């Protein structure tokens, strides 16, 4: 099932790329494997996927040693500062940096472990109260502060759009995130790269690609529905 689903998702990514005059290789699919067992993750791995996303530190810790070491792990969920130390040498990118204090902690742990961490700043472009992330107006000051921290590099921005039935409703938020990233790129801040836009999930990744996504985070569309409440 995973293999068939992946084919559908890849075809849709390709179609969205060609509709918007983009190169397929500019968009990286992240298979969001949260709540899913190692066996299912291996099906995606055997179908060629290497980029996987999890939203909980505990879950990455449990799965990490059971899976091949050439997987690139992306932390995409809210991260508590006291848990940074557990994943600092395991994940390739943290997409969900939502405060200066979290960025400082990531920097501190990266220095301690002698590693470097690429991060994305999460922006709450839709301004939903329930969501984590910087507000648009806070972003520039945060970028400037974080750019001075050792052993972390800002590679771009991330957003989680509202849950909607018509993905077109989220187009404006994806567009807003891209505009923000262009504005920040134009300031030419040292150690800040605005090359990545992590946006789009199962319900809306095609629209996100049309609006410039470089990472799409797809869970349900690959692994099927998750069996827990509160999703």
Ligand X SMILES: *Cc1c(COP(=O)(O)O)cnc(C)c1O
Using CB under 6 A as the criterion, which residues of the chain lie in contact with ligand X when the complex forms? 32, 34, 55, 76-77, 160, 201-203, 217-221
Report the residue number, 108 or 196, with the smaller CB distance to ligand X: 196
Helical H runs in the chain?
2-19, 38-46, 57-64, 84-87, 100-113, 136-147, 171-186, 205-210, 220-223
Report the residue number, 149 or 160, with the smaller CB distance to ligand X: 160
Element (H, E) at 136: helix 136-147
Report the residue number, 76 or 194, with the smaller CB distance to ligand X: 76
Place of tokens 């077109």: 168
Report the residue number, 103 or 120, with the smaller CB distance to ligand X: 120
Report the residue number, 69 or 227, with the smaller CB distance to ligand X: 227
- The DSSP-derived string for 154-173 is EEEEE--PPP-SSGGGGHHH
Spatial separation of the C-alpha atoms in residues 78 and 99, rounded to whole Å: 10
The least distance separating ligand X from the CB of residue 60, rounded to whole angstroms, comes to 13
Residues contacting residue 62 through CB under 8 Å, at least 6 positions apart: none
The least distance separating ligand X from the CB of residue 1, rounded to whole angstroms, comes to 15
Query: Which residue in the shown chain puts its C-beta closest to ligand X?
Result: 219
The least distance separating ligand X from the CB of residue 217, rounded to whole angstroms, comes to 4
The least distance separating ligand X from the CB of residue 186, rounded to whole angstroms, comes to 27
Which has the closest alpha carbon to 116: 128, 125, 107, 129?
107
The least distance separating ligand X from the CB of residue 18, rounded to whole angstroms, comes to 22
Burial class (CB in 10 A: 0-12, 13-18, 19+), 28: middle
């Amino acid at each position: 099932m995973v293999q068939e689903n992946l084919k559908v998702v890849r075809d849709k990514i390709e179609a969205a790329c060609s509709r918007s005059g983009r190169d397929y290789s500019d968009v990286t699919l992240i298979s969001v494997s949260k709540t899913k067992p190692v066996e299912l993750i291996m099906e995606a791995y055997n179908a060629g996927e290497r980029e996987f996303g999890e939203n909980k530190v505990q879950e990455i810790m449990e799965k990490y040693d059971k899976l091949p070491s050439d997987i690139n792990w992306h932390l995409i969920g809210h991260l508590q500062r006291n848990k940074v130390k557990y994943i600092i040498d395991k994940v390739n990118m943290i997409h969900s940096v939502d405060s200066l204090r979290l960025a400082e902690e990531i920097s501190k742990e990266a220095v301690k472990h002698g590693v470097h961490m690429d991060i994305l700043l999460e922006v709450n472009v839709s301004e939903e109260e329930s969501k984590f992330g910087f507000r648009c107006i806070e972003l520039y000051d945060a970028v400037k502060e974080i750019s001075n921290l050792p052993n972390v590099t800002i590679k771009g921005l991330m957003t989680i759009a509202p849950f909607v039935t018509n993905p077109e409703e989220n187009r404006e938020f994806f567009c807003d995130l891209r505009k923000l990233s262009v504005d920040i790129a134009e300031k030419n801040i040292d150690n800040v790269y605005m090359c990545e836009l992590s946006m789009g999930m199962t319900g809306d990744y095609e629209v996100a690609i049309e609006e410039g996504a470089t990472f799409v985070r797809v869970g349900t569309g690959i692994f099927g529905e998750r069996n827990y409440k509160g999703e």
